[in-house]
Structure 1
Amino acid sequence: MISEPELVGEERYGAAELPGQRSGTEDVVTTEDAPAASRPSRPAWLWALGGAVVASALWAGGLYVYETRAPDLGGYRASADLCKDAELKAVSAVLGKREGEGYTWGNKHESVDDSGCSADMRPVGYEAPKDEDGVEMGSMPSVTVGYTLHKKTDPGPEFEGTVAARHNYFGATTKLTRIDDLGEHAYIVRDSDSSGITLEVLDGQAVLTMAAHSDWDVDSGEPLTDMAEIEPLLVEDMKALMLELTN
């Protein structure tokens, strides 16, 4: 049931009652009692835009940190003298004692450290043939070692392609074999005439090579040293070198 509206005098029926027209102090609303004016609400799209900007900034900051963070070198260090780090004890049993200290070289950069070693090996009882003037002819067996430490980028995606490219370049003159349980990836590249054999290893940020080459017969041009048993010896010396470079 709808009741009749309460009348406040006939002349005031239906008229809006303003604060100034009210009688009595108890009905006066002061500024202290008045509720604070509410802020205009922001459109939903503006809040969404702000969230997207914050998320984008956080993502960009995380990406920057990720890109500038140095990769894990797996304990590998730069080599001051690779000929000292690579003792070559195993291959010496077949190729002979190292002739002198060997020749070492290296370059250091903020993105990559590169070093190498080349050493002649003198087999037991080896005497190089000499010409009529007493000058030695021919060459002794040798070992070449290479070591590259990548400090900025990952060498992994290019490693197998680089090894395969070298193998394909020489074509039928080389034989490519994968070696298990050595680094992340390892390959042996053997010359078809058995005059040389190269071990190539990828281990994290480090790429290492160790190559052994036979001496040559001056008259026939044939290799003098049998390289058939060198492969496991190269693997043994490579493991020793990797251990030395991570200590």
Structure 2
Amino acid sequence: RAAGPAGMISEPELVGGQAVPAPRRDDDPPGAWRAGAPDPAAPDDPEAPPETIAADGLPPHRRPWVWGLCGALLASAGWAAWIQLDHSAGPDLRGYRVSRNLCLDAELPALSAALGTERLPKAVVDERETVDRSFCMVELTPEGKNGREAISATTKHATVDISYVLHRKTDPGPEFEAIATGPASAMGPTYTAKLVPDLGERAYVLRDAAGNSLQLMVLDGQAVITAEVQAFTEFGTGPGAGNQYVHEPLEPDVVEPALVADIRDLMTKLSK
């Protein structure tokens, strides 16, 4: 390498794979320490081990800032690794999985016994990196009616709409509380919300003022399950014939415990 100006030490050269200071020039100041020469500041003990010389030509004990720098770098590297590990791990899903057919997972035995056993299920699933969403709509009719046969009299139906959302990245808790108890609920401006004990982390039953709809909202960790039951009477001669549907009031003392029991069973199945 080209020598530096007078009084300066040139860049270190590699000798045997280790960096050592380059030889000094003849015009260096007298008394300066040379590579391979005894260090005048070294102790007189002949058995003392030779000092290791770093690339800048100074023994380690003369560079106390190195240890502080190394400690800072190690701390920074450890902190970055912890952040990366924590980020990659994601939140605890508590065993909850995506449901690719929510109507198969939601068997609804209690509601079927109370409102009708014939079912016309429709299921939809949407899987994303940050959130999985599954939906199911089930129509329940009295025994002997399946909704496709021509009818000459009124037919009573009930619908059960279930939404299951698994949040894989963010906490749904604050949003859940606001939706379940806020005035802008999907149930409309006039409804009552009642806390359901021993179901998930938090659960509410919502009733509209007319008594035509009953909704259950459950938060359990990263999972949010919403189920709504409505009843109506169908007037007409069969599907596709311009039938009319009139909402009917529900029997909350019958529907509410059945809905809670069926959603509890669904949560057990989804978290296995």
Q: Displacement, 1:199?
A: 0.5
Structure 1: give runs of 5+ residues left out of the alignment: 1-32
Match of 1:226 in 2: 251
The separation in 2 between residues aligned to 1:161 and 1:120, in whole angstroms, is 29
Q: How many pairs align?
A: 211
Is the CA contact 1:215–1:225 (under 8 Å) kept in the aligned structure 2? no
Kindly indicate whether residue 124 of structure 2 is the aligned counterpart of residue 105 of structure 1. Answer: yes
Kindly indicate whether residue 220 of structure 2 is the aligned counterpart of residue 203 of structure 1. Answer: yes
**1:41 counterpart SS class:** helix
**1:120 counterpart SS class:** strand
Q: 1:144 to 1:221 in 2, by over 3 A?
A: closer
The separation in 2 between residues aligned to 1:200 and 1:114, in whole angstroms, is 15
How does the TM-score come out when normalised to structure 2? 0.67
Q: 1:42 to 1:176 in 2, by over 3 A?
A: farther
Cα displacement string for residues 130-188 of structure 1 (whole angstroms, at most 9, x for unaligned residues): xxx97998872111111111222222232212323465565542111111100111111
Percent identity over paired residues = 37
**2:193 counterpart SS class:** strand
Cα displacement string for residues 58-115 of structure 1 (whole angstroms, at most 9, x for unaligned residues): 1111111101113322122211211111111111222111333x11111112222111
Higher helix share: 1
Q: 1:136 to 1:112 in 2, by over 3 A?
A: farther
The one of 20, 42, 49 equivalent to 2:69 is: 49
The separation in 1 between residues aligned to 2:163 and 2:60, in whole angstroms, is 71
- Of 168-177 and 108-117, more deviation after overlay is shown by 168-177
Q: 1:122 to 1:171 in 2, by over 3 A?
A: closer
**1:106 counterpart SS class:** strand
Is the CA contact 2:166–2:223 (under 8 Å) kept in the aligned structure 1? yes
Structure 2: give runs of 5+ residues left out of the alignment: 1-45, 52-58, 236-243
Paired letter, 2:262 = D
**1:64 counterpart SS class:** helix
The separation in 1 between residues aligned to 2:143 and 2:249, in whole angstroms, is 13
Kindly indicate whether residue 265 of structure 2 is the aligned counterpart of residue 240 of structure 1. Answer: yes
Provide the alpha-carbon RMSD of the alignment. Answer: 3.2
How does the TM-score come out when normalised to structure 1? 0.73
Kindly indicate whether residue 92 of structure 2 is the aligned counterpart of residue 92 of structure 1. Answer: no
The separation in 1 between residues aligned to 2:183 and 2:233, in whole angstroms, is 23
Paired letter, 2:122 = Y
